[in-house]
A = this chain, B = another copy of it.
Amino acid sequence: MPDDTAWTLHPDRALPADPTLRPIAHEIFAAARDLPIVSMHGHIDVAALAADSPFPDPAQLLVVPDHYLTRMLVSQGATLPELGVGPDSPDKETDPRAIWRRFCAGWKHFRGTPTRYWLEHELVEIFGVTRRPSAETADLIYDEVAERLADPAFRPRALLDRFGIEVIATTDPAWSDLSAHAKLAIEVTGPGGAPRVLPTFRPDPLLHLDRPRWREDVSRLAAASGLDVTDYATYLEALRERRAAFRAAGALATDHGHLLADTTPLPDDVARALVGKALAGEAVTAAEATAFSAHMLFQMAAMSAQDGLVMQLHPGVLRDHDGAVAERFGPDKGYDIPVVTEYAQALRPVLEAFGHHEVFRMIAFTVDEDAFSRELAPLAGVYPALRLGAPWWFLDAPDAMRRFREAVTETAGFSNMSGFVDDTRAFCSIPARHDLARRVDAGYLARLVAEHRLDLDEAVETAADLAYHLPKAAYASR
C-alpha cells in the first residue's frame, strides 16, 4: 500500500476469497451483520461504564491494557515498562505519546494476527483514521484519536449505544459489592428498563486453598455476604448467598478459570477437613488444593442446578508462566500459556449428576484445540446441559474460528453452540470482534451451501442464530 493510499475497510474483508463462495457469504453475512451485540463474557471495566468518564488517551485506551498487544511487542524486544505497563518505576514510560509511537513503529509485527485486524477496524471505523500506523504516521494518528476521545460521543455509554450492544456482562469477584452494576441497572437500560450491563460471578480465588491470599479473600467473602465463615458449611453458605446477590443484580452466569477441568467431588468430611485446615492457616498440599478445587466445581454445578446461573468453565491455561514477571507486574500480562486439557473424564462427574438436569447448564471453553473434535463436540452432542463456548483467547481469530466450526459442527451441529463471546478487556474491540466472528461464520456457512450440504435459507437462519439467538438462549435459564 503506497503511503498516500487511504486506509479503508473492505466491505468483504474476512469473507472467503473464492469467487463461488464470496457472493453467498455476502448474502449470509447480511443476515447477521446488523444484529445487536450480545456480549455475555468479557472483562471490561464496569467502574468506567458507571462513571462514564472519557477515556484518557490513545495509549491508555488501546495499548496499555491490551495484553494481546503488549505481549507481541515484548516478544520483539520491548519491555513492559516501556509500554506503560506495571507499577511505577524509573524505567516506566509515562508519556502516552511515546508509548503510542512504540506501538505504531511495531505495527509490522502484528501482521496476520487478529489484533491487527481488530485494531484496523477500530481505528478506521470508530476513530476515522485513514493512515496505516507506522513510525512516520504515529503522531498524526495519535492526534486524531485523542481529538475524538475528547468528544462526548466517545464516552463509554455513548459507545455502548453506537456499538449496538444490547447486553454486556462483566466479570466480577465473588465479594464485589455490585454497586456499579446497581447504578447501571438504573441508568443504562434497554427496552422496558431491562438491565444492559450484567455482573458475572467469578469465585476462582476462593476455590483454591493454596493461594497465599486465600484467607484474606475468604474474609472479603464473609464481609460481602454478611456471614461468618468459620467452617466448610458457612463457606458454602456464603458462596450461595453471594450467588443470590449476583442473581438479584442481574447475573446470568458464573465463570470458572481452573487449570484442570476436573469436577470430581470429594467426600463431604474430606472437604470439611480441608477447609478447616485452610481456615486455621495450616498448610494445604498442592494435591489437596487441586482435589478441592475440582470438588468445588462440582459444588458450583450443584448450586447452578438450584439457582439457574449458567456455569462457564474455562480450563487449561497455565497462568503466570514467568514467575518473575508475575511478581513484578501482576497477572494478565500476556504470560498465560495453554496446556493439554482433558474433558471426557474430567467433566464426567458433573455430567453424570446434572447433564440431563432440567435447570443446569454448562458452557465449556478450551484453548486446547485438540479437544474440539475429540471430546467437546461429542459431549455437547449428547448431553442437553452442555453447550460449547466460542473459540476463546488465542483461538478468537479468523483461521482458528474456522477450524472450530469445521471441528465441532459435524458432531455437535449448531444448536449446541453458545455463540460468540468476546472475552475482551479492550472496550473498543467489541464490535470488531463480533463483526469478525459473524464474517467467519458466514464464510463457513457459505461453503456448506456451495457444497450443497445446506440450503441457503438454512444458512441465513443459522447465521442469525449464531450471532444473536443462540447466545441469548444459552445464557437464559433453562
Seen from chain A, the residues whose Cβ lies within 8 Å of a Cβ on chain B are 1-2, 9-10, 12-21, 71-72, 74-77, 108-114, 116-117, 132, 318, 321-324, 334-340, 342, 344-345, 348, 351-352, 355-356, 367-370, 373-375, 377-384, 386, 394-395, 397-400, 403, 406-407, 409-416, 447-448, 450-458, 462
Contact = CB atoms under 8 A, between A and B. Distances in A.
Contacts of A108: 415, 458
Contact of A414 (B19, B111, B324, B369): B111
Contacts of A16: 451
Contacts of A379: 321, 337
Contacts of A370: 340, 368-370, 374
Contacts of A19: 19-20
Copies in the complex: 3
A322 B18 contact: no
A324 B356 CA distance: 11
A396 to B, nearest CB: 9
A344 B339 contact: yes
A347 to B, nearest CB: 9
A355 B322 contact: yes
Contacts of A10: 452
5 contacts: A111-B454, A112-B448, A335-B382, A338-B344, A370-B370
A324 B352 contact: yes
The 4 closest A-B CB pairs, nearest first, are A17-B450, A13-B452, A397-B410, A112-B409
Contacts of A13: 451-453
A49 B466 CA distance: 44
A14 B449 CA distance: 10
Nearest to A9: B452
Contacts of A450: 17
Contacts of A455: 1, 132
Given A18-B18, A340-B370, A394-B410, 17 more contacts: A12-B452, A14-B452, A72-B381, A75-B382, A111-B454, A321-B344, A322-B355, A322-B356, A323-B352, A324-B352, A337-B375, A338-B375, A339-B374, A339-B375, A373-B395, A377-B394, A399-B407
A220 to B, nearest CB: 31
Contact of A117 (B339, B407, B453, B458): B453
Contact of A383 (B75, B109, B378, B410): B75
A411 B109 CA distance: 11
Given A13-B453, A344-B338, A451-B14, A410 B381 contact: no
Contacts of A72: 381-382, 413
Contacts of A15: 451
